[in-house]
Copies of this chain bind each other. A is one copy, B any other.
Amino acid sequence: MTDGVPNHAGLRRKPRQTRSQERVDRILAVAEALFTTEGYAKTTTNAIAAQAQVPIGSFYQFFPDKAAILQAIALRYTGRLQQYLKTLLDTPDVAVLPLPEYVDRLVDATDHFFVENPGYHAVFMDAQGTIPELNEIESAADMALIADLKTALAQRNPGLSQEDLEVVGFVVIKVIGNLLWLSIDQDQTRRQRLVLETKKLALSYFQNYFPIESQHC
């Protein structure tokens, strides 16, 4: 992507005029609201266009098809998450934290993002599988997260091979994501417990690759 504004990704025509840009923004806002409340399948393109006060024809000037709106919204979310976690991982203070605290921070940050962005859950939950492009977006987003985590972990244990770093990053990102994702549907008590278990799980696994230095009997 040569363009810094992810809004334009997958657009049929890039809006040049102010009015057009406003229309695209309105469409995305309305679509996100409808997808979240009604679901992707039950939301019609005509309804989005009508509620955004945009003729259906103009709608299709910007978006090649219905799926493209969801892709645009999904891209916005994955971008936010990656930036959020990268900021954490790149903080010098965090990099030198003992492993348990490090895992705490990582899991808490991911959990926090999920809680603060309920649309993320709603959008990805909805049309997964139906839209192959969505899976690619999620996959690409995870790749980026894994890459960030890899550099952070390499710093922590320079002895690990690239293959090991890749696999450990993959497992940790996927597992944390999956468990916290599942915890969203649960009630408050169970959710907190699952966050705790996620930390326990990640820490136990990490210790296979980052042995505690101060281990003595």
A contact set with B: CB distance below 8 Å = 40-41, 125-130, 163, 167-168, 170-171, 174-175, 178-179, 182, 190, 193-194, 197, 200-201, 204-205, 207-208, 217
Q: How far is the CA of A190 from the CA of B207 in the complex (A)?
A: 21
Q: Tell me which of B40, B125, B179 contacts A175 (CB under 8 A).
A: B179
Number of identical protomers: 2
- Nearest residue, chain B, Cβ from A182: B174
Q: How far is the CA of A171 from the CA of B170 in the complex (A)?
A: 18
Looking at chain A's contact residues, the main secondary structure is helix
Q: Tell me which of B125, B171, B179 contacts A129 (CB under 8 A).
A: B125
A200 to chain B, nearest CB (A): 6
Q: How far is the CA of A200 from the CA of B205 in the complex (A)?
A: 7
Q: A127-B129, A128-B128, A129-B130 are in contact. List 17 more A-B contacts (CB 8 A).
A: A40-B130, A126-B130, A127-B130, A167-B194, A168-B197, A171-B194, A171-B201, A174-B179, A174-B182, A175-B175, A175-B201, A200-B208, A201-B201, A201-B204, A204-B207, A204-B208, A217-B217
